[in-house]
Amino acid sequence: MSRRTPRISAAVLISGGGTNLQAFIDETVSGELDLDLKVVLSNKPDAAGLERARKANIKVECVEHRDFREREQFDAKLVSVLNKYAPDMIILAGFMRILSPVFIDRFAGKILNIHPSLLPKYPGLNTHQRAIEAGESWHGSTVHFATAELDGGPRIIQGRVPVLRDDTAESLALRVLKVEHQIYTQAAALLASGRLVYRDGQAWLDGVPMDEPLQYTPPGK
């Protein structure tokens, strides 16, 4: 008698409102994404995304970074908390802390991050304003495997939007955010299915190393 393969489990780490978290919740509830959201963890007890998790009956945890003098101590506590849930995948969804090797090495190859730029352009902060000031025609977001190099892990998928003549950083950010909700769940689905793996410092899709990330452009754009 065959048994159904257990669903891949995931932990989502947030620091703020959790709109990407909501995209994951919506797609798991609808059945579009076969992922078991085990826990949502935040470094801020008042993060609005925690309430999204509670409404979806997902367990929540909080580890305040201000309680730790050293980054490595904070990361060790994160690992300790997450070990209770044994997640197969870590989803960084607006988690505004730089993670040290203490965390990265424990979950190597299982950590997804999303960054609001077309990496390798504009790592770090203020990406939307920097893209506007540089006169870019296109901007967007990138899902990548998280490594010890900030915003430097292997890229998986990018979503692009045009930079409009009258764009502000705020208006551009809103359009990029809509794309993020599409590409992040796609990347997680690929990892959950086993089609996407991290090996030898690279992202591999269907047994082939990814020299370039997948590309997504919103319909009509």
Active site members: 115
Position of tokens 């801020």? 44
- 8-14 and 35-42: which strand pairing? parallel
128 and 139 Cβ atoms separated by less than 8 Å: yes
31: left (phi over 0), alpha (psi -120 to 50) or beta: left
Query: Rounded distance, CA 32 to CA 28, Å?
Result: 6
Question: What distance in Å separates the CA atoms of residue 12 and residue 219, rounded to the nearest whole number?
Answer: 28
Contact assessment for residue 201 and residue 145, using Cβ atoms and an 8 Å cutoff: no
State the DSSP string of 22-44: HHHHHHHHHTSS-EEEEEEEES-
Q: What are phi and psi of 208, to 5 degrees?
A: -125, 130
Q: What b/e string do you get for 74-110 counting C-beta neighbours within 10 Å, with b at 16 or more?
A: bbbbbeeebeebebbbbbbbbbebebbebbbebbebb
59 strand-pairing partners: 39
